[in-house]
Amino acid sequence: MIAKIVYFLYFKNYRLFCTLILFNLQSKNNILFIINPISGGKGKLRIPDFIDKYLDKEKFSPNFIFTEYIGHAGELADEASLKNFDIIVAAGGDGTINEVATKVLKHNKILGILPLGSGNGLARFLNIPKNLRQAISLINNLKIEKIDSATFNNKSFFNLAGMGFDAHLSAVFSSDKKRGLSGYVKLGFKEVFNYQPQVYTINIDGVEHKRKAFAVTIANSSQYGNDVFIAPSASVKDGLLDVCIIKPFSLLKLPVLSYVMLKGRAETSDMIEIIKGKNIKITRQEAGAVHVDGEPLQMGVEIEALVNPLSLQVIVP
Ligand SMILES: Nc1ncnc2c1ncn2[C@@H]1O[C@H](COP(=O)(O)OP(=O)(O)OP(=O)(O)O)[C@@H](O)[C@H]1O
């Protein structure tokens, strides 16, 4: 139909107008959906057809690819950025977003998110709907904002990074075959009984705090996922990180800690201390497990976390 109109106008001497229409038609955004088939523990084979059905083809030329191994999403996002993809969508959880967003940040492209993970911490913070059709329609609207990103010993993160129990649990969870929320909760209960708190020296913008802690989490956004809030007042636009120190506690108080986090009351609880800052240096007792957006890594005794204000372009509601 559009072709017929352009043809008609062209021969009626509206040539400049036709060139503008054609330019507009060509200037569709190349968009790549990088889909993690294992995140969230649900099958994703039909996801490309579903996206294709609801994506606005007047605006986008879509491509789809499934990841095949850990780190693959990052490689694909890197290649796509060099091949003229303007928008790269991470279809998965926080780990997939981390890999894709790290490359999107590097190449100054635009990140889209389809929350298909177990926890979806960043997506929940950004109010990106879990309903896939609604999340696609949000991409169709193409509202873009800049948010803060951060580094944890030079490794980018966008939601949370940390050490202590969180990191221990990520390491155990990643080697477990069961994904999804229920698997995570079961493992958490099993592991919490044996975990020993560590001593951390935490320097926040030049002020030193020595603390024994169950976990130390550096938060860019507010939650682990599934509406479990560790830093309820965190913002991805304030140029600050929230250093959240979970104090050692008797296991009898585990339900209280869970309640506090589920209700978003960490800031008023005596079980959690939160200090905001930009430049954080942590020295811990031993090298070992950390997590970066929920993905387990090994790091040394010294860890530096820095914020990179308003550095990442993301499609938001
Ligand atoms: N084909 C694959 N096989 C195995 N692992 C993969 C594959 N593709 C990606 N991965 C890895 O899967 C891991 C988990 O991904 P992701 O974080 O997106 O899901 P999740 O853990 O279920 O969700 P969330 O982080 O929101 O809780 C990441 O470490 C990623 O690198």
Summarised one tens digit per residue, pLDDT across range 260-270 is 999 999 999 99
* φ, ψ dihedrals at 205, nearest 5°: 50, 45
3-class state of residue 236 by DSSP: coil
Query: Which residues, 6+ apart, have CB-to-CB distance to 113 below 8 Å?
Result: 89, 90, 97, 122, 123, 126, 128, 135, 314, 315
- Give the pLDDT of residue 177: 60
CB neighbourhood size of 274 (10 A): 18
User: Model confidence over 57-78: pLDDT tens digits?
Assistant: 999 999 999 999 999 999 999 9
- What pLDDT digit, counting tens, does each position of 280-308 carry? 999 999 999 999 999 999 999 999 999 99
Question: Is the pLDDT score of 91 beyond 70?
Answer: yes
- Nearest-angstrom CA–CA distance, 100 and 103: 6
Distance of CA 73 to the CA centre of its chain: 13
Report residue 281: phi and psi, to 5°: -125, 125
**DSSP label of 120:** B
Q: What local confidence, expressed as pLDDT, does residue 43 receive?
A: 82
| DSSP character at residue 214 | S
Among 44, 65, 70, name the best residue to mutate to test ligand 1's pocket (greatest count of ligand atoms within 8 A of Cβ). 70
What are the pLDDT digits (tens) for 8-24?
Answer: 444 455 554 444 444 44
**Antiparallel, parallel or unpaired: β 87-92 and 110-115:** parallel
Is pLDDT of 212 > 80? Answer: yes
Express each pLDDT in 225-249 by its tens digit.
Answer: 999 999 999 999 999 999 999 999 9
Domain ranges of the chain: 2-148, 155-309
Determine the distance separating the centroid of ligand 1 and the alpha carbon of 1, expressed in angstroms: 43
Burial classification of residue 252, based on how many CB atoms lie within 10 Å of its CB (0-12 exposed, 13-18 middle, 19 or more buried): exposed
What burial letters (b/e) apply to 161-178, b meaning 16+ CB within 10 Å? bbbbbbbbbbbbbeeeee
Mean pLDDT of the chain: 90
Give yes or no for residue 185 having a pLDDT over 90: no
Please tell me the distance between residue 117's alpha carbon and the centre of ligand 1 in angstroms: 8
**In the structure, what pLDDT confidence band is assigned to residue 179 with cuts at 50, 70 and 90?**
low
Has the ipTM of the complex gone over 0.90? yes
pLDDT at 262: 96
Of 33, 34, 35, 36, best ligand 1 pocket probe by most atoms within 8 Å of the beta carbon: 36
Instruction: Check: CB of residue 38 under 8 Å from CB of residue 61.
Output: no
Residue scoring higher pLDDT (15 or 184): 184
Mutating to test ligand 1, I would choose from 34, 39, 181, 292 the residue with most ligand atoms within 8 A of its C-beta, which is: 39
Looking from the CA of 157 toward its CB, the CA atoms found within 13 Å total 30
At the fourth CATH level, which superfamily is domain 2-148? Probable inorganic polyphosphate/atp-NAD kinase; domain 1 (3.40.50.10330)
CA of 72 to the centre of ligand 1 (A): 10
pLDDT value at residue 14: 55
Atom of ligand 1 nearest to the CA of 99: 31
Residue pLDDT, tens place only, 37-57: 999 877 888 999 999 999 999
Q: Do 222 and 232 form a contact (C-beta atoms < 8 A)?
A: yes
In this structure, which residue's CA is closest to atom 26 in ligand 1?
Answer: 93
Write phi, then psi, for 42 (nearest 5 degrees). Answer: -115, 150
Q: Is the CB of 96 under 6 A from ligand 1?
A: yes
Q: Compute the distance between CA of residue 192 and CA of residue 134 in angstroms, rounded to an integer.
A: 37
Answer whether CATH 2.40.50.140 is correct for domain 155-309.
no
Q: Is residue 108 within 8 Å of 149, Cβ to Cβ? A: no
**Ligand 1 close to Cβ of residue 220 (< 6 A):** no
pLDDT for 257 beyond 70: yes
Domains 2-148 and 155-309 share a fold: no
How far out from the chain centre does Cα 99 lie? 9
Q: How many angstroms does the Cα of residue 81 sit away from the middle of ligand 1?
A: 21
Residue 180: per-residue pLDDT: 61
